Structures are given as structure tokens and as C-alpha cells.
């Protein structure tokens, strides 16, 4: 966003989010989030894709990434498989085939009904491939994210089955090393453990460096977190299983979320947060999470403690909402492209009555769904389509569409949420006042109260209304992340003007498929602060303080500023302080003693207030800057005179500085009796951006399809009353987008846009 045109391009690359001190970590081979399919969806084959591989007829794409492509394949007898094919350039790497061959061999050595079996492989092919039985259900991580924690009985059955799978892994002389929710698929007859890509034989020398952290932070044992390779063994998988069971029972990892280095530190030094784990499971989970590997139970011992429940063949071990997801995905397998009718039987299908969905499943026994491990239990939980499908309501004579607002109207960010609702309301009223409008608009508001536990329900209130074409919001980072599964599932466009968390559009798991961020992501905003310091001062030792109340936000700002200072060959004075720190005078005094000549605060308002007071008492005269989450009236009120002279970066422009916004400001005053608050103008623009594209569709004679709207919006350049907007392929704003303010006489005085690159007199 810019006042007249786009700012200068961003830095050459995205900021490095990893702190310098973090050990190397082998990245998981995940799909590119900018092109990943909707979770559970089958995407069409591309012209460059083969039609078959080694007897598997390829029906579509399940996912793709830097390592290769995963296809859905079918054998001549109707069995489905996930066929993983690597890129030829990967296969040419010296150690790649050794790693791939090891993955195939590891998976083949595991004999368990709760581990997905290998059905074919060729590590020596020009493009190595491996096929495993296809499971149409969601991953555990996806199910918990979309439907909430599992009940105790479900967790017990889950734990018992996975313990059996791990017992088979360990009996084969292997260690899985990456037991996490994303590597557990849910089927009606029980879970399945997948992905032996980084498994290794007990005592085997790793093909990676000895100081490399391998696996997924948050689901690693302490010995893995510290890369103590010689100590990694079966107890490491048991620790990960304990983390997974805690996540399944509570909806959150036991060591929290946020910066990777913080997760690794907590895993090694802190006790897990097991609040909410059912009493009947608490002792077992706590034992699995013992810091000392010798104190953890074995997989066989866990199995013995969870023998009273077994999945059987029915779907009742899972909540109904998860069963429905499995059933819907199983149904999709019955409509796979180009399945020959003769394969259903010898009779001419034209002479047969059209079966309903349940009958068709029975005809396909031994084919798509049953071969996929889906069973028929899922269908028993669903009504017959012919009897219970609701009739489609007749079209309205006078068509109207709805714009949703998902906001915090009653919680900690209610001032921002109310401003966003008002901006959206004015956009809708302005559209409805047009004589040439091709339809009418309504506004539908859903309040999450700033509570991430309410966010998913608030989102479903909007996604469940078929007339809602797009949504403004959510207000906050973590309510946005919690609501994301609902918007992804509906493919409903979501434009946020205040949630800058990079995970909303760049999670690495195919999330954020419909999200557009008008505000810059926090790491990019951090680069803006650093460039501003370099542009306006001659700083050679800027201080960077990372305060961990909101770990992810602070870490991303720190990463952005560090990136810029390193490229400018400027060596900062760093400090990281835990949440609850109060003695800022001591911490900042030490930083001044090390030569700090400018100060960047990466934290929230309460700690910024303490830092402002401490720097004032210490007589610090250098530039003091901070970011979005301190840009609020509270900082001015609580810091008082100590706030004077601070520079703050925010993703919003003061409407009073924009002549293009004069009509909007006047309308706001007339409607609400006051000048628009920050974030109202950007919300006004966001709604108009969505409406502009819907009008184009309607005037072309087509019916708006909300599931196809987000890709169109990402390609649009829009000039609104607050500036210009253009997006990159992931939906993030393609600009720095940070506006700078100075505290002057107890108010925020607008300055200018943050620079998008280094000053001309700096060598970066």
C-alpha cells in the first residue's frame, strides 16, 4: 500500500527467520503453500504429468513440492495408492538415492495394520518412485484444527494403535524420528502412521550432519532438540507420541508454539503444559514426556496400558464431525475421473437402475473406498442422500450478496475490530447508494471476542451462509490462524488488514488458500523498521530486544531487523528476555554499556512501556522504534512523557493525510459522529476491492463463484482511498506497507512510509 503508487521493491529475498544461534534443521519436504491444493482435494493432472507409472494409472495430484509430486494412482484391480515421484534433478544428487532407498526399505520393514504399507517402489528409476496404500481421511493435525480436540476414548484408541505401530517400527530395528499429527492419517477403522522419510536404523550413522536437528519442533524429544545423535532411539519416538497425544486431547502442543529456537529450548528445559489432558491419560502422557529417555515407557508398555479399547471396524471411535470428513472424501473416490463402467461388473450399466450412494459403495467393494482403508463404517453414520438431502432454495427475484466481517468487537482488540466493522459498513452503504448497482449488498458480522477458542465457530457462521462472497478479517493473528481451517474448507476469500502472521499465507501445509493480507507480514514490517533506522541515523550498534510474551510476533520482527542489519554489515546488540521481565533498566543498561546507539523493541505494549521508562531514566538519546502491536493508545497513556520521540511502524495510514479519503472521512463523521479510527480506511478499501471484482463477474453475465474469487483478487491492482494495493502469489501484500509515526505531544504524528530498501549512502 502506498499513498500514490507502490513503494520501492522489497529486499532481494525474504528475511531469514532463523536466529543465528539456531542449529541447522533438515526441512520437511512440504508442498509450496502458494500452489498446494485444498487439504484432501484431488487436483487435475498437468499436461506435463505422466498418465501412468509402473502399472499405476494416475488419476490426479494429491500434492506437490520442491522434492516431487504425490499422485493418486489406481491399479487394474481398482486399488488406490499414493504414488510419490521425485524430480529427476533430486535423483541426480549424490546422496539422494541412498536416502530414498532407505525410506523405502524402512517402510517395507514395518509390519503393522496401523502403519501405511508400501505397495510398490523403484529407487533406481530415472525418477525414483514409491507407492503406499491410499487413506482418504484427514491427518490428525487437520482434524484437530478443523473440529477441535478429540474425546478421551478417541485419544486412548489413537494412542493404543499408534503405540502398536511404533512397537512394529522398533521391532524392525528402526526409529521413526518424526511422529507428529501431520504424519497420522485417520480412517474409520483406526489411525495410520505414515512417512518414514527420516527414519533410520538404531545405531546407524545419519546421512546428515551430526549437529543437525531432524524432525518437527514441538514434537521432538530433548535428545533430538539438542541433536544428540547417539542418544536418539525408540524412547525418542515415545516422547513424540506423548506430545501427539497431548495435542490430540487439548488441541495444542504441550510445549507451545512460536519461534523454533524457543520450542527447542522449552522441550529441553521446561515442563510440558498438560492442562486439559483427561485424568485417565495424564500419568501416561507425563511418563512419555520424561526428559530422561530411560524413564519413558516402551511402545509395548503403552500398548499394554491402552488395551481396553480397540477401533474394531466401526467409525464410532471418532467424533461424528471427523467421520463426516472421512465420508465426504471417500465419496470423492467414487467419482474418480474416467473409471471404466465395465469394471463394476459384467452387466451393461445402462440396463441397471441408478444406485444411491450407499448402494454404489457396496457395488464397489474391493475397489476405491474399501481398498483405501475407508471401510463402510463412515457411511453408516450418514443419512441416505435420496431421503435427507435438503432442497435447494429457489433463486431470489432481487439478488443480493453478503460481505462478512469477522472481527474482535468485544475483546482486547475491540477498538480495531469496531473500526474495521465501521469501514466495511460504509463501503456497503456507499455501494447500495449507487443507482447503477447490479445487485444489493448486506453486511454480516461475526464477533470472536479476540478469543482463538471462539474463532473457528465465528468463521463457520460466515462460511455456512452461501450468500457470503467474501470476508473482512479477522482482527488478530491467532484468531485468524484458528479460523483458517473453516475458510480453507469453504475456499471463501478472506482479506485481513491487521493480522500480519506469516502462517496465514505461508504455513507450508497448503493453508491460507483464500487469504489476502493488506497489512505487511511481521517479518517484512521488521525490515521496514531496520531500514528506517539506517536511513535516518548513522547507527553502527543498534540494539534489538526480543520480548517473548507473543513469541512468534517478536521472533518475526527480530528476524526482519536482523536480516537488514546483517546485510548492511551492521552488528547489532541483541537481547532476548522472557515474558514477565520487569527489570528493563538493568537489561537496557547492559545494552548501552555494549555501545547501543539505537533501539528496536520487538515485543508488546506492556514491555514497550517498561522499556520506554527505563531508557528515559537511563538518559538514552538514540532512536527508539517499535512495531504494529505497540501502535495503540495504551502505549501513549501508560508510557506518558517517556513515549515522546518514539517511532512506531504500523500497517495503516492516517485518513486525514489523504485527500483521496476526504469523502470517506466526511461520510464517517456523518454516520458515526467522529473521524475514522485507524484501520477503518483500509477496511473500506478491502470491501470495495472484493465488490469491484464481483461487479465485473455479474456484469459479464456470470454467477459469482466465491471459491474462484480469491485467485482473481490476488492478481488485481486496486487503487483505494488509502492507497494502492497489489499482492504476490501467496496473497501477501507485495510491498513493505509500513507507515511511520512519531510520538509528539502525546499523539501519533504521521511521518512517511517506511523505506523499502537501504539508503543510497549505505552499502548493503
Catalytic site positions: 178
Give the separation between CA 687 and CA 346, rounded to whole angstroms: 56
Cell 531469514 maps to which residue?
A: 16
Give the separation between CA 271 and CA 222, rounded to whole angstroms: 12
Give the separation between CA 750 and CA 738, rounded to whole angstroms: 12
- Strand partners for 184: 193
Q: How many CB atoms lie within 10 A of CB 29?
A: 15
What CA dihedral angle connects 203, 204, 205 and 208, to 10 degrees?
-110
Assign 3-class secondary structure to 581-604: CCCHHHHHHHHHHCCCCEEEEECC
Give the separation between CA 528 and CA 738, rounded to whole angstroms: 7
Contact partners, residue 258, CB within 8 Å, separation at least 6:
548, 551, 552, 555
Question: What is the chain's alpha carbon radius of gyration, rounded to the nearest angstrom?
Answer: 28
Residue among 648, 641, 713 at smallest CA distance from 678? 648
At residue 727, the 3 state secondary structure works out as strand
What CA dihedral angle connects 671, 677, 683 and 688, to 10 degrees?
40
Q: Which helix (H) or strand (E) holds 624?
A: strand 623-626
Q: How many CB atoms lie within 10 A of CB 399?
A: 13
Residue among 493, 464, 515, 505 at smallest CA distance from 706? 493
The dihedral built from the CA positions of residue 345, 347, 350 and 351, taken in this order, carries a sign that is: negative
At residue 690, the 3 state secondary structure works out as helix
Contact partners, residue 499, CB within 8 Å, separation at least 6:
473, 474, 475, 476, 477, 479, 480, 517, 519
Give the separation between CA 251 and CA 144, rounded to whole angstroms: 6
Terminal alpha carbon distance of the chain: 24
Give the separation between CA 468 and CA 648, rounded to whole angstroms: 36
Give the separation between CA 647 and CA 534, rounded to whole angstroms: 13
Q: Report how far apart, in Å, the C-alpha atoms of 301 and of each of 155, 166, 287, 298, 307 are.
A: 16, 11, 11, 5, 10
Give the separation between CA 308 and CA 196, rounded to whole angstroms: 29
Residue among 4, 197, 95, 222 at smallest CA distance from 720? 4
Give the separation between CA 748 and CA 637, rounded to whole angstroms: 12
Give the separation between CA 342 and CA 352, rounded to whole angstroms: 12
| 320's grid cell | 461424528
Chain centroid offset of residue 560 CA:
19
Residue among 375, 11, 60, 356 at smallest CA distance from 190? 375
Give the separation between CA 596 and CA 665, rounded to whole angstroms: 42
Give the separation between CA 167 and CA 174, rounded to whole angstroms: 10
Amino acid at each position: 500500500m502506498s499513498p500514490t503508487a507502490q513503494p520501492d521493491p522489497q529486499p532481494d529475498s525474504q528475511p531469514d527467520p532463523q536466529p543465528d544461534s539456531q542449529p541447522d534443521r533438515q526441512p520437511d519436504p512440504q508442498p509450496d503453500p502458494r500452489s498446494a491444493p485444498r487439504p484432501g482435494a484431488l487436483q487435475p493432472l498437468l499436461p506435463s504429468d505422466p498418465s501412468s507409472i509402473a502399472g499405476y494409472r494416475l488419476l490426479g495430484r494429491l500434492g506437490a513440492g520442491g522434492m516431487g509430486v504425490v499422485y493418486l494412482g489406481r491399479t487394474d484391480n481398482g486399488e488406490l495408492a499414493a504414488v510419490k515421484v521425485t524430480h529427476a534433478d533430486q535423483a541426480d544428487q549424490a546422496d539422494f538415492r541412498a536416502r530414498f532407498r532407505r525410506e523405502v526399505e524402512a517402510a517395507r520393514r514395518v509390519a503393522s495394520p496401523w502403519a501405511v504399507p508400501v505397495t510398490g517402489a523403484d529407487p533406481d528409476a530415472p525418477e525414483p518412485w514409491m507407492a503406499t496404500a491410499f487413506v482418504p481421511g484427514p491427518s490428525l493435525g487437520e482434524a484437530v484444527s478443523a473440529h477441535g480436540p478429540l474425546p478421551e476414548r478417541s485419544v486412548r484408541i489413537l494412542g493404543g494403535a499408534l503405540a502398536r505401530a511404533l512397537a512394529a517400527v522398533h521391532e524392525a530395528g528402526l526409529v521413526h524420528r518424526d511422529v507428529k499429527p501431520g504424519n497420522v492419517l485417520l480412517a474409520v477403522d483406526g489411525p495410520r502412521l505414515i512417512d518414514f522419510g527420516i527414519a533410520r536404523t538404531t545405531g546407524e550413522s545419519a546421512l546428515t550432519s551430526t549437529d543437525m536437528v531432524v524432525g518437527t519442533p514441538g514434537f521432538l524429544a530433548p535428545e533430538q532438540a539438542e541433536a544428540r545423535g547417539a542418544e536418539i532411539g525408540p524412547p525418542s519416538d515415545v516422547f513424540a507420541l506423548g506430545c501427539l497425544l497431548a495435542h490430540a486431547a487439548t488441541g495444542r502442543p504441550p510445549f507451545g508454539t512460536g519461534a523454533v529456537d524457543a520450542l527447542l529450548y522449552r522441550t529441553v528445559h521446561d515442563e510440558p503444559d498438560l492442562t486439559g489432558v483427561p485424568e485417565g491419560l495424564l500419568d501416561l502422557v507425563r511418563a512419555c514426556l520424561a526428559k530422561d529417555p530411560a524413564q519413558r515407557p516402551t511402545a509395548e508398555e503403552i500398548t499394554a496400558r491402552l488395551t481396553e479399547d480397540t477401533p474394531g471396524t466401526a467409525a464410532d471411535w471418532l467424533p461424528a464431525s471427523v467421520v463426516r470428513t472421512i465420508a465426504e472424501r471417500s465419496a470423492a473416490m467414487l467419482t474418480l475421473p474416467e473409471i471404466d463402467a465395465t469394471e463394476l461388473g459384467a452387466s451393461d450399466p445402462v440396463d441397471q437402475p441408478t444406485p444411491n450412494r450407499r448402494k454404489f459403495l457396496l457395488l464397489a467393494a474391493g475397489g476405491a473406498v474399501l481398498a483405501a482403508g475407508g471401510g463402510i463404517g463412515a457411511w453408516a453414520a450418514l443419512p441416505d442422500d435420496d431421503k435427507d438431502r435438503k432442497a435447494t432454495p429457489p433463486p431470489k427475484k432481487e439478488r443480493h450478496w453478503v460481505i462478512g466481517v469477522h472481527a474482535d468487537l468485544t475483546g482486547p482488540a475491540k477498538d480495531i475490530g469496531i473500526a474495521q466493522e465501521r469501514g466495511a459498513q460504509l463501503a456497503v452503504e456507499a455501494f447500495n447508494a449507487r443507482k447503477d448497482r447490479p445487485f444489493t449488498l448486506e453486511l454480516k458480522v461475526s464477533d470472536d471476542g479476540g478469543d482463538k477458542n471462539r474463532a473457528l465457530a465465528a468463521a463457520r457462521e460466515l462460511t455456512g451462509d452461501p450468500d457470503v462472497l467474501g470476508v473482512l478479517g479477522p482482527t488478530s493473528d491467532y484468531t485468524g490462524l484458528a479460523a483458517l481451517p473453516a475458510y480453507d474448507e469453504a475456499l471463501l476469500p478472506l482479506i485481513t488488514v491487521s493480522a500480519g502472521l506469516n502462517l496465514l499465507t505461508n504455513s507450508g501445509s497448503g493453508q491460507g488458500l483464500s487469504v489476502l493480507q493488506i497489512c505487511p507480514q511481521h517479518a517484512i514490517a521488521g525490515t521496514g523498521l531496520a531500514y528506517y533506522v539506517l536511513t535516518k541515523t548513522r547507527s553502527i550498534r543498534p540494539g534489538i530486544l526480543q520480548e517473548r510474551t507473543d513469541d512468534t510476533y517478536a521472533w518475526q520482527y527480530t528476524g526482519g531487523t536482523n536480516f537488514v542489519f546483517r546485510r548492511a554489515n551492521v552488528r547489532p546488540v541483541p537481547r532476548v528476555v522472557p515474558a514477565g521481565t520487569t527489570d528493563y533498566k538493568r537489561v537496557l543498561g547492559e545494552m548501552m554499556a555494549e555501545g547501543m546507539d539505537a533501539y528496536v523493541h520487538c515485543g508488546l505494549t506492556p514491555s514497550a512501556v517498561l522499556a520506554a521508562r527505563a531508557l528515559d531514566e537511563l538518559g538514552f538519546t538514540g532512536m527508539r522504534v517499535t512495531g504494529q502491536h505497540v501502535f495503540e493508545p495504551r502505549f501513549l497513556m501508560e508510557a506518558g512523557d517517556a513515549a515522546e520521540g518514539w517511532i512506531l511502524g504500523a500497517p495503516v495510514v492516517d485518513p486525514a493525510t489523504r485527500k483521496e479519503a476526504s469523502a470517506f472521512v466526511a461520510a464517517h463523521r456523518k454516520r458515526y459522529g467522529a473521524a475514522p479510527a485507524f484501520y477503518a480506511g483500509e477496511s473500506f478499501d478491502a470491501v470495495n476491492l472484493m465488490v469491484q471484482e464481483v461487479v465485473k463477474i455479474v456484469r459479464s453475465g456470470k454467477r459469482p463463484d466465491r471459491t474462484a474469487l480469491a485467485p482473481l483478487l490476488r492478481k488485481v491492482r486496486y487503487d483505494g482511498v488509502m492507497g494502492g494495493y497489489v499482492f504476490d502469489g501467496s496473497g501477501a501484500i507485495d510491498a513493505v506497507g509500513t507507515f511511520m509515526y512519531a510520538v509528539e505531544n502525546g499523539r501519533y504524528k504521521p511521518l512517511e512510509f517506511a523505506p523499502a530498501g537501504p539508503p543510497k549512502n549505505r552499502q548493503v
